[in-house]
Amino acid sequence: MTPDAAAPTDLTGKTCIVTGANGGIGLSICDHFAALGAQVLATDVDDRFAGMDATYQPFDLLDAEGLQAAQDWITKAEPDVMFNNAALFDMGSVLQADLVQFDRLFGVNVRAFYALMQASAQSMIAKGKQGSIINMASQAGHRGEALVAHYCATKAAVISYTQSAALALAPHKIRVNAISPGVIDTPMWKTVDGLFAKFEGKEIGQKKREVGEAVPLGYMGSPEDVARVAVFLASQQSSYMTAQTIGVDGGNVLR
């Protein structure tokens, strides 16, 4: 049997939603989906979109009205693919990280993530679409960290919801998977590196250098490394995969 060359990664005719679209990974995902023929609908909190080849609509997912408007926007869009990517990072141990930080991180990374996944799933069922939902987890979701209590917990929640959603949506042939990046060189790392400098007394740039060198492959990943896996999960190439969390981490987490 010859490999199916027609199905592989083509997204022509597919409507793909991307949240956190102005971020390092989000921008690359938008580019990759558009290059494969998808109609990309992008959203982030900023007024303007930094990329190209996407229809952009801003929503603040921490704001109740903004979140409801984003849910309505998704329902109207009738997506085939949902790339559920927006998130906030912050640091603190369980002795320091307060409930204000809890509400912000869980508000975007879990509450809004859940609401938008649900809106996508409901639309796919209503329109009879055998879609693909891709959630952004993290290596932080597989193991707690002393100084990163809330963020790790939000990403563990993403992995759990991915499994529950995949099982609930399997009868509708809607697939739900997650990606767990390791350390990816994006603007988020300016924040992460600055926070580690504060919490661990490091020089600016030191933590980023150290985490890159500690990866078994020896360097930080790029947004494109993540985008290629997102393309795989969005496309028919992964048609028999659901409820999985795929590591894109250079070998950091052994499953």
What residues are labeled active site?
Answer: 151
Candidates 8, 187, 216, 251; binder of ligand NAD (CB under 6 A) is 187
Q: Is 202 exposed, middle or buried (0-12, 13-18, 19+ CB in 10 A)?
A: middle
In this complex, which beta carbon is closest to ligand NAD, that of residue 60 or of residue 90? Answer: 60
Number of C-beta neighbours around residue 171 at 10 A:
8
> Minimal CA–CA distance to 239: which of 7, 1, 28?
7
User: Among all chains, which residue has been given the structure tokens 């990816």?
Assistant: 184
> Considering only residues 139-178, where is the footprint of ligand NAD by CB under 6 A?
none
In this complex, which beta carbon is closest to ligand NAD, that of residue 61 or of residue 174? Answer: 61
Residue 183: both structure tokens together = 């350390």
In this complex, which beta carbon is closest to ligand NAD, that of residue 119 or of residue 129? Answer: 119
Candidates 15, 16, 17, 26; binder of ligand NAD (CB under 6 A) is 26
> What does the DSSP 8-state code read for residue 141?
G
CA distance 193 to 150: 17
CA distance 186 to 169: 32
Residue 79 Cβ vs ligand NAD, minimum distance, rounded to whole Å: 17
CA distance 139 to 185: 14
> What does the DSSP 8-state code read for residue 139?
G
Partner residues linked to 180 by β-bridges: 247
Residue 252 Cβ vs ligand NAD, minimum distance, rounded to whole Å: 10
Candidates 18, 25, 121, 152; binder of ligand NAD (CB under 6 A) is 25
Span near ligand NAD by CB under 6 A; candidates 33-41, 120-128, 185-193, 238-246: 185-193
Write the binding mask 71 to 90 for ligand NAD: x where contact by CB under 6 A, - elsewhere.
--------------xxxx--
> Considering only residues 96-125, where is the footprint of ligand NAD by CB under 6 A?
108
Span near ligand NAD by CB under 6 A; candidates 15-23, 32-40, 164-172, 237-245: 15-23
Angle at 251 between CA 81 and CA 174, to 5 degrees: 20
Residue 70 Cβ vs ligand NAD, minimum distance, rounded to whole Å: 8
Residue 100 Cβ vs ligand NAD, minimum distance, rounded to whole Å: 14
> Considering only residues 41-70, where is the footprint of ligand NAD by CB under 6 A?
44-45, 60-62
User: Among all chains, which residue has been given the structure tokens 């956190």?
Assistant: 20
User: Residue 86 — φ and ψ, nearest 5°?
Assistant: -65, 140
In this complex, which beta carbon is closest to ligand NAD, that of residue 88 or of residue 134? Answer: 88
Cβ-contact 74, 32 below 8 angstroms? no
Residue 123 Cβ vs ligand NAD, minimum distance, rounded to whole Å: 19
Q: Which residues bind ligand NAD (CB under 6 A)?
A: 20, 22-26, 44-45, 60-62, 85-88, 108, 136, 138, 181, 183-184, 186-189
